[in-house]
């Protein structure tokens, strides 16, 4: 049997993947460019970029929410914001590893715009996940007041 905290962390990863796919619409040009720069198959953009966020989200959700056993909206928003920031950081580091730090400096405006879009969206997206966790915690554990 899978532990409740592990199961909710996996749910968080799936939810983050779906949110990431939805963000491909406004940020698709950035995501496709990064994937092309890294010489990855552009057809996989919709899987690679949100997929990396999904893996990070599952771990971050476990660390910030499940491990603590606190189900507050602040932690839900914080978990999703951390996921967005770390996902952008991950792809930035990959570009820097391939092309050097100068490529990141040149793309600084793009990175900033991506963070300005993804950050607030991430915080808002974390709230429904926390709502579900609080409402469905029932027999699995205490829901936050």
The verdict on residue 65 lying in a domain is yes
> What is the predicted pLDDT for the residue at 138?
55
- Our measurement of the distance from residue 36's CA atom to the centroid of its chain's CA atoms, rounded to an integer in Å, reads 21
> Alpha-carbon distance 16 to 83, whole Å?
9
Task: Check if the beta carbon of residue 53 is closer than 8 Å to that of residue 83.
Answer: yes
The verdict on residue 106 lying in a domain is yes
> What is the predicted pLDDT for the residue at 42?
84
> What is the predicted pLDDT for the residue at 145?
42
The verdict on residue 50 lying in a domain is yes
The verdict on residue 102 lying in a domain is yes
The verdict on residue 21 lying in a domain is no
Minimal CA–CA distance to 130: which of 39, 1, 8, 17? Answer: 8
> Alpha-carbon distance 94 to 34, whole Å?
9
Q: The whole model's pTM is what?
A: 0.85
> What is the predicted pLDDT for the residue at 143?
47
- In the chain, the number of structural domains is 1
The verdict on residue 54 lying in a domain is yes
pLDDT by 10s per residue, the chain, length 145: 888 999 999 999 999 999 988 888 887 888 888 888 888 888 888 888 889 999 999 999 999 999 999 999 999 999 999 999 999 999 899 889 988 888 888 888 888 988 998 899 999 999 999 999 999 875 445 544 4
The verdict on residue 31 lying in a domain is yes
The verdict on residue 68 lying in a domain is yes
Q: Write out the residue range of the structural domain in which residue 64 sits.
A: 27-138
């Amino acid at each position: 049997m899978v532990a409740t905290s592990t199961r909710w962390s996996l749910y968080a990863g799936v939810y983050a993947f779906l949110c990431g796919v939805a963000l491909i619409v406004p940020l698709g040009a950035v995501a496709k460019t990064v994937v092309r720069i890294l010489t990855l198959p552009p057809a996989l953009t919709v899987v690679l970029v949100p997929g990396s966020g999904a893996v990070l989200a599952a771990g971050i959700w476990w660390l910030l929410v499940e491990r603590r056993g606190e189900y507050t909206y602040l932690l839900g928003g914080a978990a999703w914001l951390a996921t967005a920031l770390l996902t952008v950081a991950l792809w930035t580091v990959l570009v820097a590893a391939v092309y050097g730090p100068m490529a990141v400096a040149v793309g600084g405006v793009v990175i900033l715009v991506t963070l300005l879009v993804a950050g607030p969206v991430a915080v808002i997206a974390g709230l429904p996940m926390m709502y579900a966790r609080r409402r469905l915690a029932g027999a699995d554990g205490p829901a936050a007041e």
